[in-house]
Amino acid sequence: MQNNMLSLFDYLGYAAGKALGKRVADYARIRKTKYGTKYVENRAYKGAVHIYEPAFLEEFFKVEKLFTDNTNYTEINTQLVEDSFETSEKIF
């Protein structure tokens, strides 16, 4: 399963930073999403990083965008309801 998992750096193409990494990790815990770790060593960082399935990262950035674009909360709730009918997974 870890073969197709990505770090935030792999997904974004640049270093995400601690704040974004924490938000993704927190969301993964809320969603009870499986994640792994991999060891990274370069000039800027040496240590373990979390890796996630690409679909989870896509979901995270879609949800984060909903809450950071000054979107009307009625639109957010409508989208969440529509999405829940399209997927067999529960959103909450």
- In tens, the pLDDT along 23-77 reads 999 999 999 999 999 999 989 889 999 999 999 999 999 988 877 766 565 666 6
- Asked whether residue 6 is assigned to any structural domain, the reply reads yes
Rounded (10°) CA dihedral 49, 54, 59, 61: 60
Of residues 91 and 6, more confidently modeled: 6
Per-residue confidence (pLDDT) for residue 29, from 0 to 100: 94
- Asked whether residue 92 is assigned to any structural domain, the reply reads no
- Asked whether residue 73 is assigned to any structural domain, the reply reads yes
- Asked whether residue 59 is assigned to any structural domain, the reply reads yes
Most confidently modeled range among 45-49, 78-82, 87-91: 45-49
Per-residue confidence (pLDDT) for residue 50, from 0 to 100: 96
Domain count, the chain: 1
Domain hosting residue 58, numbered range: 2-86
